[in-house]
Amino acid sequence: MTELRFALWGAGFWSQYQLAGWGEVEGARCVAIYNRTRARGEALAARFGVPAVYDDPERLLDAEEVDFVDIVTAVETHAPLVRLAASHGLPAICQKPLATSLAEAEAMVAACRAAGTALYVHENWRWQPPLRALKRALDAGRIGRPFRARLQYNSSAPVFDNQPFLKDLEQFIIADMGSHILDAARFLFGEAESVYCQTQRVHHDIRGEDVATIVLRMEGGVTVTCEISYASRLETERFPETFITIEGEEGSLALAPDYWLRETTAAGTLARRTPPPHYPWADPTYDVVHASIVGCNANLLGALAGCGAAETTGEDNLKTVRLVYAAYESAAANRVVRPESGGGR
């Protein structure tokens, strides 16, 4: 694979892990960093040996030869930065959530389509090794046709400590973690035909919701419940693991604590661990999340190099964004909605 040169836009909390994840993938090299606070960009560049730093993304594109940009900035900056990349004829990878509204996300995808440039979303959750193992077991068909499933991401982890900006978000857990969990539901079961959601705010010092329960009716007939919470103090804290139970006509699958995958059929239960790898740069607490960065980057790089299809294109991620805003619409109106309506916010 020919080496592709890229610029990293953003030098905040997540950028260090995104850049380290690229270091595990052959065929990509970061040649420049943009950050509006130049000192932060310089500190990140010094750590990773990136030769150039800019505090203006336009100047970066004028001065550097890059094959794509990787956008790891605050969500409100995603739309203008994606449009800037598209205006220079460059593919862009963008962190989730893709945009601040469904309309904005649709406009971003349309702008890239009109410019003839690719837009990818770094939706890494589906690339967690335990979740990929669960998907393979589901596709093997041994539990028969699935009819019901539950995805649980419930924790009391102090996420506001290293990301204090989350406290100020008017729409919090569905936009932030729901983007991951709803995408995982789509990855496992396909598209949803209806959404019903209830939300709560348990922490008193935040603006948005920190608990959400979302019920999806999938087009294939599976009923999927997604439980998402940062206010759940449980007997065993398993942050940031996602637990999943799938019931089928011939058996069940469970992705259980400590990465145990259990498959139960009439023949009994087969259990095996599916732990993620540990990378030297990863925070051990986040191993399962940080490992997923590598798989996601490899998939997107393959698409950029013309060696395969990307799973998480902008077009595909719009379907997840529609579920996010359909969930907000459902919670506000206390009714079942179709994801095509999307809430519009």
CATH number at residue 150: 3.30.360.10
Quick one: 145 and 229 in the same domain? yes
Report the pLDDT averaged over residues 82-101: 97
- State the Cα–Cα distance between residues 150 and 224, nearest whole angstrom: 6
β 28-34/52-54 pair status: parallel
Q: Which of 71, 92, 122 is the last residue of a domain?
A: 122
Could you tell me if 97 and 182 lie in one domain?
A: no
CATH number assigned to the domain comprising residue 82: 3.40.50.720
The confidence score (pLDDT) of residue 341 equals 58
Q: What is the pLDDT of residue 104?
A: 98
Domain containing residue 216? 126-274+314-333
Q: In whole numbers, what is the pLDDT of the chain averaged over residues?
A: 96
- Residue 139 makes CB contacts below 8 A (sequence gap 6+) with none
pTM of the model: 0.96
Residues 249 and 162 in one domain: yes
Task: Give percent above pLDDT 70 in the chain.
Answer: 98
* Residue 191, number of CB atoms within 10 A of its CB: 14
Residue 298 lies in a domain: no
**Is 96 in the same domain as 175?**
no
Region at 270 (left for phi over 0; alpha for psi -120 to 50; beta for the rest): beta
User: How far lies 92's CA from each of 15, 76, 119, 125, 275, in Å?
Assistant: 15, 16, 5, 19, 31
Give how many domains the chain has, as a whole number: 2
Give the pLDDT band (50/70/90) at residue 340. confident
Torsion sign (Cα): 334, 337, 339, 342: negative
* Burial class of residue 106 (count of CB atoms within 10 Å of its CB; 0-12, 13-18, 19+): middle
Q: Are residues 206 and 90 both part of a single domain?
A: no
pLDDT digits (tens, 9 = 90+) for 309-324: 999 999 999 999 999 9
Are 70 and 294 a contacting pair, CB within 8 Å?
no
Q: Answer yes or no: is 342 within a domain.
A: no
Assess if residue 141 is contained within a domain. Answer: yes
> Looking at the structure, do residues 62 and 182 belong to the same domain, yes or no?
no
Q: Between 201 and 341, where is the model more confident?
A: 201
Assigned domain for 286 exists: no
Per the DSSP assignment, residues forming a β-bridge with 5 are 29
Residues 145 and 105 in one domain: no
Q: Give CA–CA dist 46/132, Å, rounded.
A: 34
The domain boundary, picked from 93, 122, 151, lies at 122
The answer to whether residue 304 sits within a structural domain is: no
Confidence of residue 162 (pLDDT cuts 50, 70, 90): confident
**Residues 88 and 141 grouped into a single domain:** no
Residue 168 lies in a domain: yes
One domain for residues 254 and 133: yes
Q: Quick one: DSSP state of residue 188?
A: H
pLDDT at 1: 60
Which of these ranges, 40-44, 208-212, 340-344, has the smallest mean pLDDT?
340-344
Q: Is 307 within a domain?
A: no
Is the residue at 178 inside a domain? Answer: yes
Identify the band that residue 156 occupies on the pLDDT scale cut at 50, 70 and 90. very high
Same structural domain for residues 242 and 228? yes
Inter-residue contact 304 to 91 (CB < 8 Å): yes
From 73, 75, 183, 74, select the one nearest 125 (Cα to Cα).
Answer: 183
Instruction: Give the per-residue pLDDT at 343.
Output: 53
Taking the CB of residue 217, how many other CB atoms lie within 10 A of it? 16
Do 191 and 253 fall within a single domain? Answer: yes
Beta bridge partners of 29: 5
With a cut of 60, say whether residue 336 has pLDDT above it. Answer: yes
Residue type, 303: A
Domain boundary among 122, 146, 178: 122
Average pLDDT over residues 260-281: 98
Shared domain check, 175 and 61? no
Rounded CA separation 105/279 (Å): 33
Mean pLDDT score, 175-196: 98
